[in-house]
Amino acid sequence: MKRLLALAVSLVIGCEVSVPEYNQVANLTQITSEKGMNILPDISSDGKEMAFSSNRRGNFDIFIKKPEEQAVIQRTFGREDDLFPSWSSDGKMLAFSSNRFGSFDIFIIDAFSGHDTRQITFDSTDEIAPDWSPDGKNLVFTRIRRGDENSYSIIIVDVETGIQTELTNGLFPKFSPDGNRICFQRGIEEGKQSIWIINSDGTMETEIVYNPIFSAVTPSWSIDGERIVYASAMNGKGKVEKGLIEELVAYRPIDIRTVKTNGSNDTQITGDSGPDGFPVWSPDGFIYFCSLREAREANDEYNINIFRMRLQSLP
């Protein structure tokens, strides 16, 4: 559990820095309020359901919640940890990462019964952060190979056949709404990450966000495919005990930003003293993200909740 605490805290908690371009937002709403780490939101294609990971009952499990309602439904159960839920475009299935059999693998379950669990990857490495293609035929995910120099690969797997294709090196891939492109983050030098886009067939890699002040991490698409939302993060490096993604301790989210897919109009959209991370753009125009903004006042680093906001305007 310490390993997962390190993962969640390091990726969602950051520290205050002064970054320009703050753009005032409206309609900020807290979606979860339970004690514990409520992290990694993903929104169904109709915008009506949010899936997320939470350790409110001990280990991390997958939960579902309607943003407008208080009720929360637990979808996975067990002694191990389930992370990174991802909705299929038809809203029927959830993909996620779980270490229930040792290393993290990709699984699929029925979103509204929790039954028919199907394992998709069986590698001894860690496979994390799956994302469905719009046609529901493929999943893209990150594979972590550990050794003297850890490597992070972006893999596409055919859900029916299990055939895998390695695209490039990087982390946290997301399919564009039309399925033709994938955004992701990549380590470009020691202690620095930037945002890239690649065609789904592995061609035309393009770096769209590089900043000398901060790292750019965990990108996600707008519904029209014209913008990317991502988290700015601390630069640096850090080592913790061996385990899942400890290398990312160095990249601690600070604020949420958006950028056009051609790299222009990079704009900061949150500026609260509580760090914000793992943003995702919903089909109805909200941006959901994890934040410590409420817990910071109580000095509670293990109480992370999910918020959403709607922007007044973007350049």
For residue 288, give its domain range. 2-311
pLDDT recorded at residue 237: 46
The count of domains in the chain is 1
CA distances from 5 to 109, 193, 228 (A): 25, 22, 28
Residue carrying the six token digits 């995910």: 141
Distance CA 315, CA 302 (A): 35
pLDDT recorded at residue 6: 39
Instruction: Give 14-27 pLDDT, tens digit per residue.
Output: 333 333 343 444 57
Distance CA 69, CA 8 (A): 25
- Tell me the β-bridge partners of 306: 290
Q: What is the CATH number of the domain that holds 249?
A: 2.120.10.30
| Burial (CB count <10 Å: 0-12, 13-18, 19+), residue 18 | exposed
* Helices and strands counted in the chain (H then E): 1, 24
Judge whether 134 and 175 are in contact, CB under 8 Å. Answer: yes
Instruction: Give 235-289 pLDDT, tens digit per residue.
Output: 654 333 344 434 433 346 789 999 999 999 999 999 876 688 999 999 999 999 9
Which band of pLDDT confidence, cut at 50, 70 and 90, is reported for residue 294? low
pLDDT recorded at residue 26: 53
Q: What is the mean pLDDT of residues 285-306?
A: 76
Instruction: Tokens for 240, please give them.
Output: 């913790």
% residues pLDDT > 70 (the chain): 82
Instruction: Give 188-236 pLDDT, tens digit per residue.
Output: 877 789 999 999 999 999 999 999 888 999 999 999 999 999 999 876 5
